[in-house]
Amino acid sequence: MALPPPTHDESSRFDLAEGVRSFNYRRIVAPLVADHDRRAAAHGVAPTTKEQAGELYADDPAYLFACALQRSMQQLAWRTAVTSIERDAASIEADLKTTVHTQEHSRLELVADRDLPDWYTWHTREGRDDIHLVPGGYWGSDLVGAVYERGGSVYRLAWRAGYDARPGALEAFVRSAPRTDYARVVDLGCSFGGLTRVLRTVFPDAEVVGLDISAPALTYAHHLAERGGQDITYAQRDATATGFEDGSVGLVTAFLLLHEVPDDVRAEIMAEAYRILEPGGTLLFLDIPPYAALRPEQAFFESFDGRGNGENFWECFLASDFRALLAGAGFEQITDGPLDFDEPGYWGSSALWRTGEFDPVHRWVTRAVKPVGVPA
């Protein structure tokens, strides 16, 4: 199924949202971050925390304007995506229901009437910010896959290039795994399968399984896999209770899962990952850098990004000591750092990390190993 094209009016809104977001990062936020040292000197202070750095900006109309732009452009983009998809709801739903099975091992395992965790649904139920400001979050609409395909490409500042534009960074991330001969690779919080599809390509001989708790996300991921001729199993299972046997997985991955769960759930996921990994097996995560890895003013503007996008667990993850959590779960050889990958012509590249500029893309890799010599 190729999504029906947006109307001219919707395309204009996407252009506006993408253009304003890009302008906001480059022309307002980046100069504000770069102005930090001058402001600190003018006030005779030397901030050591993001809260102290934030005091240098709190009353600045440019900062308040940047916050308003960030949030209202997210709302515009996602609402327009919803409108443009709902217009063709009947045909999209029919396509999803009649996904043609083309692959021998490709499967979709859903659990009928599955209860979703309270922390996952309450923002929507209570009328708070839906995750990413997408109405209904990941679970509230059967059309959410198509909505993300459309709105996600605006979010990535690449809407005319499409949802799958610039997959190079994900591929570089996957290729940073220490081995290529895994028997089984499990992708936690796979959603619509962005990373899972890359895992399938990079590890052609492995069994590749994507897990998520959202049935609509998995249904769309499965549809994309069949359409793309990829053998992938997608299963509706919680990352805290994956159902795999002890020590039966060579590589566990996640892309943008860690900052979308509460602290206690993140701890449970790490314990589960440790349990299912074989001794010597690897954990490989791509997510947002912790505040501790940033200068105070960068951290302040990173928290601005989370608030402007309806990220309900952003703050608790970025303020946490994730490496300590992994060590506590039993992992060894824990390393983290920016993904070393430049996408030519793309503003949010790792070159920005090297020059110390502000990067709105935040690709941060964490790797850990389950020690050998422990019982599987």
What does the binding site for ligand SAM look like in residue numbers (CB under 6 A)? Answer: 138, 189-192, 194-195, 211-214, 217, 238-240, 255-257, 260-261, 265
Measured CA to CA, the distance from residue 335 to residue 9 in angstroms comes to 47
| Residue 213 CB, nearest approach to ligand SAM (Å) | 4
Burial class (CB within 10 angstroms; exposed 0-12, middle 13-18, buried 19+) of 227: middle
Looking at beta carbons only, is 152 or 296 nearer to ligand SAM? 152
Looking at beta carbons only, is 211 or 329 nearer to ligand SAM? 211
Looking up tokens 């591929």 gives: 171
Contact 363, 259 (CB under 8 A): no
Measured at the CA of 16, the angle between CA 14 and CA 19, to 5 degrees, comes to 105
Looking at beta carbons only, is 32 or 147 nearer to ligand SAM? 147
| Residue 346 CB, nearest approach to ligand SAM (Å) | 17
Looking at beta carbons only, is 139 or 182 nearer to ligand SAM? 139
| Residue 315 CB, nearest approach to ligand SAM (Å) | 16
Burial class (CB within 10 angstroms; exposed 0-12, middle 13-18, buried 19+) of 239: buried
For residue 68, the one-letter residue type is A
Measured at the CA of 170, the angle between CA 168 and CA 171, to 5 degrees, comes to 65
Name the E strands within the chain: 107-109, 184-188, 207-212, 233-236, 249-255, 277-287, 332-338, 364-369
Looking at beta carbons only, is 33 or 366 nearer to ligand SAM? 366
Burial class (CB within 10 angstroms; exposed 0-12, middle 13-18, buried 19+) of 5: exposed
| Residue 190 CB, nearest approach to ligand SAM (Å) | 5
- N-to-C CA span, the chain: 43
Contact 225, 194 (CB under 8 A): no
Measured CA to CA, the distance from residue 140 to residue 7 in angstroms comes to 25
Looking at beta carbons only, is 28 or 239 nearer to ligand SAM? 239
Looking at beta carbons only, is 106 or 240 nearer to ligand SAM? 240
Looking up tokens 């960068």 gives: 298
| Residue 266 CB, nearest approach to ligand SAM (Å) | 9
| Residue 147 CB, nearest approach to ligand SAM (Å) | 13
| Residue 179 CB, nearest approach to ligand SAM (Å) | 21
Looking at beta carbons only, is 66 or 276 nearer to ligand SAM? 276
| Residue 317 CB, nearest approach to ligand SAM (Å) | 12
Token output for 243: 């159902």
Half-sphere CA count of 111, side-chain side, radius 13 A:
11
